[in-house]
Structure 1
Amino acid sequence: MGSQGGLGPPGNGGPGEGESGETRKLQEGRAARGKRRKGKGKGKAGAGQGGRGSGAEGKTQPPQAKEAAGLGAEAGERAGLRKVGEGGGSVEDGARRIVRGDEGSAGARKEAKGRYDGKKEEWRVRTGQREDARPARAQGRGCQAWGRLAGTGAAMAAAAEEEAGAREPAGRPAAGPALLRLPEELLLLICSYLDMQALGRLAQVCRWLRRFTNCDLLWRRIARASLNSGFTRLGTDLMASVPVKERVKVSQNWRLGRCREGILLKWKCRDGKIGIHKIHSTFTVKYSAHEQEVNCVDCKGGIIVSGSRDRTAKVWPLASGRLGQCLHTIQTEDRVWSIAISPLHSSFVTGTACCGHFSPLRIWDLNSGQLMTHLGGDFPPGAGVLDVMYESPSTLLSCGYDTYVRYWDLRASVRKCVMEWEEPHDSTLYCLQTDGNHLLATGSSYYGVVRLWDRRQRACLHAFPLTSTPLSSPVYCLRFTTRHLYAALSYNLHGLDFQTP
């Protein structure tokens, strides 16, 4: 009976059944624990898949959900095992507690997952709102910025262009035509063959070439061939402080006759006196020099030479202790209309009325007052010289009643001039002035006409009448700079501005 009970089928009563039932319960507990472990592994795998899914969406699983799931599972397992180990109940009760702990951990996981899903949805809604709002704000800011740019677009463009034009590069461009990579000495040699128009076009290629073509060396050759550019016939620069290119620009106004006229001073005084004035001061000296009108005065090297209608020329020192003391009185036999001191300060020339002497041009020694030589021999009687000037120690210019401008070279001949220009309207020429190179200006006796000549040509370039018929006056004196011309008439001083016509 005992053996049969021990070998009976499961579920029958008896001692054997008790043992086999207890064993079966233990096996079921182990199986439940195995299922629980498998479920836990599956839960972790699910959580990993969920993490990957969230990662695909660009989000990560919050760590609070993982912690809640793990804590729930561990608490259930510890509670079941503790009850079984303590022996306070059957194995079946322990297994039930383990199963309930497993179910509790699953519930905790579901609750944690719900909280996570809710937070995820809330976060997604918030980020979605921000993402939807960002383009609108960006678009608003863009429209506002575009409105500001549109309102000041012209001013900004003008400022940028001005800044770009004023800013000069430190060196030549790294890339560009082969011309820019040539050495500067070779590039200077090539550009020296270009004329003014070609240099102007080359300056428009780039900023570096514009700066390069502003070099004075390139414009010096052009300036020496221009009118009144500040260079003498020998190449001496009389206006070194002014850029050569700017002088060439102004010289085009002289060539084309573009200027602006104005009256600078007015006067009326004929008293036969010489006045000495100090610039920017009240210092003035006046003393009686001649018995009649003083027609001409020249001053160089501390010496004053004057000529008068009283047929004398006088030499005066300009030293402060000897003011008013006459050094020499020279009898010229004719009324003295013009006078000029040599650049070497060793002699002076007088131009007379050509009535008492056959030659109106005579050269005198400045130290002794003796006659050195006379110029020309074919002057008709009365062909007086109204103006004379030295251009160099050996060359001088003269003009007068015979309506000619004559150029004398003392090295070639003192009897005949080397070149002459005739006044086109057969008017007396009262005065002349030259830039020492190509430009020549003359003043006529009627209507205050000022004429500009190019000494390389025979014909006059331009004429400027400064007076009208009721106020007709000769031009008694002419002076000019590279920008202005000044003409003295009988009652006022006229100015012609060639820089800003």
Structure 2
Amino acid sequence: MVGGDRSALRRGRKSGGPPCFLDLPDDAIFAILTYCDPATLGQLSLVCRRLNNLAAQDCVWLPYRRKLFGPVNIRKTFKPPSVKAQCEVAVNWKAGSPREVCLISYATKQIPWIQLYDDNLWVSEEQEIRCHPASAKGIRAQSCKSLKPGGQDISRFMCKDGRLVAATRCACISMFDLSTGDRVQHLQHCHQSDIHCIDFHGDVIVSGSRDSTVKMWRQSASSANDVLLKTVHIGSRIWSLCISPDARFLITGTAGWNDVAPLHLWDMNTGQFLGNLGENYQEGAGVLDVHFKDEHLAFTCGYDTYTRLWDLRQPLNKHVGKWEEPFDYTVYCVRSDQERSFVTGLSHHGLTRLWDIRHSQPLQMLYSSCKQSSPVYSLAFESSRMYVALDKAVLLFDFNRLPKSKQRRRRR
């Protein structure tokens, strides 16, 4: 519908001529628009205001959104984008054409950890955790709040239920109230070595350490000896752990040495060992990250270059999904959009991959522009933006906006 055809569409009944396309009721026009491709819909939206409004409705673009791949989760506190806008973002994900922005840069190399919580980005930097507030345009580079657990550098933290629990390399655990920023609990000498991972639910905190132990703590203002609930000696370094959203299960990931299985499943209520996840692992196939997709499905990844999906309702020795890293890189972290997409962070060149659980091959890969080769230590993403933590920077990949060079090409 181009050229002189547009003038025909603009003629109404005032001209006294035969009825035209715009004389049709809205439901009839919607039925016709379902047969148009995206390019035709874009041209029709330039004809007049009425067609512009009708061609932008969600019911017109839903069939195309179902065919496109890419994250579908959206922010909860901001107005959800239209389905048309989601289609545009999905095309940018597929094309691998985001705008890259360096949010934070470090003078020395670190192992930072990041998490999106309440639309704010929380970032660890040496001995403090900073909050970078969000707006409709993205995350601000300037922080608005800083939490300092004390002691050595922060190894891991977790935000949940209005609280933040952080673990340091000197085996200390601190809990903060995010509404006030006050520290409500501080435990010292919790392990005999570095704490690598931590999670909590309700008043129970779970920590895993280099000393091959997993410990459960009760939230209290007392000393560490008074709040220790349980200690489990596993026999291999604990690299990762995660509590299921319904607090029924705990998955721990080990280094996979000394004939110890890389993945263990526990009952959170009783502390009982339920079994190993998977079998026939290679020696040293450590699990570096565990992430629950929902109450029953969990992603795991690590040194053996595989990302696996486990269904805790199925036999524990078999996974329900398995994706191999094409470049044979270690998979440092994995995050899901709670639907069908997930992103993995790899050990070289700041490389991340976008996957769809229905496909065995990755949909897209993104390299950071950093000159040095850095692992992706942690990542967070939503429908239109992805945040990547490297050894000397935290980067933002914005899929709402294209780089200037690609904007010029699209205009041409």
Give the shorter-chain TM-score range: 0.5 to 0.7
CA distance in 1 between counterparts of 2:240 and 2:204 reads 16
Which residue number in structure 2 is paired with residue 290 of structure 1? 191
Match of 1:462 in 2: 365
Match of 2:72 in 1: 230
Listed as ranges, the gaps of 5+ residues in structure 1 are 1-172
Higher helix share: 1
Match of 1:349, SS? strand
The separation in 1 between residues aligned to 2:365 and 2:339, in whole angstroms, is 18
User: Of the two structures, which has the highest relative contact order with CA contacts closer than 8 Å and spacing of 6 or more?
Assistant: 2
Give the Cα separation in 2 of the matches to 1:228 and 1:302: 36
Do the aligned partners of 1:317 and 1:323 also contact (CA within 8 Å) in 2? no
Distance 1:456 1:292, change over 3 A: same
In structure 2, the partner of 1:207 is 49
Partners of 2:207 and 2:214 within 8 A in 1? yes
Cα drift, residue 484 of structure 1 = 2.3
Is this contact kept in 1: 2:244–2:250, CA < 8 A? yes
2:104 aligns with: 264
Q: What residue is the counterpart of 1:307 in the other structure? A: 208
Aligned pairs, how many? 321
Between the aligned partners of 1:201 and 1:482, the Cα distance in structure 2 is: 26
Contact 2:350/2:376 (<8 A) preserved: yes
List aligned pairs for 1:261-410, cutoff 5 A: 261-264=101-104, 266=106, 267-268=125-126, 269=153, 270-279=169-178, 281-284=180-183, 285-288=185-188, 289-301=190-202, 303-318=204-219, 325-410=227-312
Query: In structure 1, how many angstroms separate the alpha carbons of the residues matched to 2:216 and 2:395?
Result: 30
Match of 2:347, as an amino acid?
Answer: S
Structure 1 partner of 2:80: 242
Residue aligning to 1:119: none
Q: Distance in 2 between matches of 1:465 and 1:314?
A: 37
- The separation in 2 between residues aligned to 1:328 and 1:392, in whole angstroms, is 26
Q: 1:241 to 1:327 in 2, by over 3 A?
A: farther
Task: Say if 1:338 and 1:386, in contact at 8 Å, map to a contact too.
Answer: yes
Query: How far did 1:313 drift?
Result: 2.0
Matched, 1:443 2:341: no
CA drift at 1:441? 1.6
Q: Which is strand-richer, 1 or 2?
A: 2
Instruction: Give the 3-state SS of the residue equivalent to 1:389 in structure 2.
Output: strand
Residues 204-235 of structure 1: per-residue CA shift (max 9 Å, x gap): 34312221233334444544544444349xxx
Say if 1:430 and 1:202 are closer, same or farther in 2 by CA, change over 3 A: same
SS at match of 2:191: coil
Alpha carbons of 1:455 and 1:341: their partners in 2 closer, same or farther (altered >3 Å)? same
Partner Cα separation in structure 2 for residue 174 and residue 314 of structure 1: 78
Residue 378 of structure 1 aligns to which amino acid in structure 2?
A: N
Residue 317 of structure 2 is matched in structure 1 by 415
Q: Secondary structure at the match of 1:459?
A: coil
Secondary structure in structure 2 of the residue aligned to 1:499: coil
Deviations along 1:417-476, whole A, 9 cap, x unmatched? 23322222211111111222343221122333222334444333123136434xx43222
> Structure 1 residues 179 and 313, CA, compared in 2 at 3 Å: closer, same or farther?
farther
SS at match of 2:228: coil
- Aligned equivalents of 1:215 and 1:272: distance in 2? 54
Residue deviations 1:357-410, cap 9 Å, x none? 553122111111111232111211111111121112222211111111122233
Cα distance in 1 for partners of 2:63, 2:201 equals 31
Residue matched to 2:401: 500
Q: Tell me if the contact between 1:311 and 1:334 (Cα under 8 Å) persists in the aligned partners.
A: yes
Check 1:358–1:420 CA distance in 2 against 1; reply closer, same or farther (3 A cut). same
RMSD over equivalenced CA pairs, Å: 3.2
Once residues 261 and 391 of structure 1 are traced to their aligned partners in structure 2, the CA distance between those partners, rounded to angstroms, is 28
Separation in structure 1 between the aligned mates of residue 216 and residue 288 of structure 2, nearest angstrom: 19
Give, in angstroms, the shift of residue 275 of structure 1. Answer: 3.6
What's 2:165 paired with?
Answer: none
Between the aligned partners of 1:355 and 1:177, the Cα distance in structure 2 is 75
Relative distance call for 1:302 and 1:499 in structure 2 (3 A) is farther
Tell me if structure 2 keeps the 8 A contact 1:223–1:231: no
Deviates more, 1:242-251 or 1:424-433: 242-251
Alpha-carbon distance in 2 for matches of 1:490, 1:218: 44
CA distance in structure 2 between the partners assigned to 1:429 and 1:223 by the alignment: 29
Other structure's SS at 2:269 match: coil
* TM-score, normalisation: structure 1: 0.56
The SS at the match of 2:87 is: helix
- Aligned equivalents of 2:194, 2:36: Cα separation in 1: 54
* Mapped partners of 2:247, 2:35: distance in 1: 40
Tell whether the 8 Å contact from 1:223 to 1:229 is kept in structure 2 after alignment.
Answer: no
State yes or no: 1:484 paired with 2:322. no
TM-score (norm 2): 0.67
Q: Deviations for 1:108-156, whole angstroms, at most 9, x for unmatched residues? A: xxxxxxxxxxxxxxxxxxxxxxxxxxxxxxxxxxxxxxxxxxxxxxxxx
Q: Which is further off, 429-438 or 273-282?
A: 273-282
Could you list the per-position Cα deviations for residues 66-121 of structure 1 after superposition, in whole angstroms to 9, with x for gaps in the alignment? xxxxxxxxxxxxxxxxxxxxxxxxxxxxxxxxxxxxxxxxxxxxxxxxxxxxxxxx
- Measured after TM superposition, the shift of residue 201 of structure 1 is 3.8
Q: Deviations over 1:169-195 (max 9, x none)?
A: xxxx878645762453x6556645655
Relative to 1, partners in 2 of residues 1:444 and 1:317: Cα closer, same or farther, differing over 3 Å? same
Per-residue deviation, 1:197? 4.1
